[in-house]
Amino acid sequence: MVSIQLEYQGDLHCSAVHGPSGTTLATDAPKDNQGRGESFSPTDLVATALGSCMLTVMGIMARTLNIDIAGVTASVGKEMTSTPPRRIERLTVKIHVPHAISEENRLKLERAAHTCPVHKSLHPDVQIPITFTWG
């Protein structure tokens, strides 16, 4: 089990400490929900978790395939619902792999990305379109 300690600091700001490493991060409510948008919002962290998780499991698969995918990038667009209840409606993921990779390994890397634990943990109502560009 990983423990993360959080503290509400007031004015819609929180700090979090990752137990195993001691790494800290801050959150703020977004401007469209009474915050100042001075840091990641909690839902921004969900989008961040999805993108980094997909790249990480692709990296694990790349290790298995003995290929280097350093430099692969992902962008995640987060859209919130426009009507209550406020929630994430869509996370649009774009992954760019600038390397020459065989079609067989491309399929393996794409399948790996789709097995990301964050992706599998999100509610099925959250739309998650994913596109890959190669080369």
Buried b (16+ CB within 10 A) or exposed e, 98-129: eeebeeebeebbbebbeebebbeebeeebebe
What is the pTM for the complete model shown? 0.95
Q: How many CB atoms lie within 10 A of CB 24?
A: 10
Check whether residue 22 and residue 54 sit in a common domain.
no
User: Which pLDDT score, from 0 to 100, does residue 98 have?
Assistant: 97
Check whether residue 28 and residue 54 sit in a common domain.
no
Check whether residue 47 and residue 10 sit in a common domain.
no
Check whether residue 96 and residue 130 sit in a common domain.
yes
Check whether residue 70 and residue 9 sit in a common domain.
no
pLDDT in tens, the chain (135 residues): 999 999 999 999 999 999 999 999 999 999 999 999 999 999 999 999 999 999 999 999 999 999 999 999 999 999 999 999 999 999 999 999 999 999 999 999 999 999 999 999 999 999 999 999 999
The whole domain housing 114 covers 42-134
Check whether residue 68 and residue 108 sit in a common domain.
yes
Name 76's Cβ contacts closer than 8 Å, sequence gap at least 6.
Answer: 47, 48, 50, 51, 91, 92, 93, 94
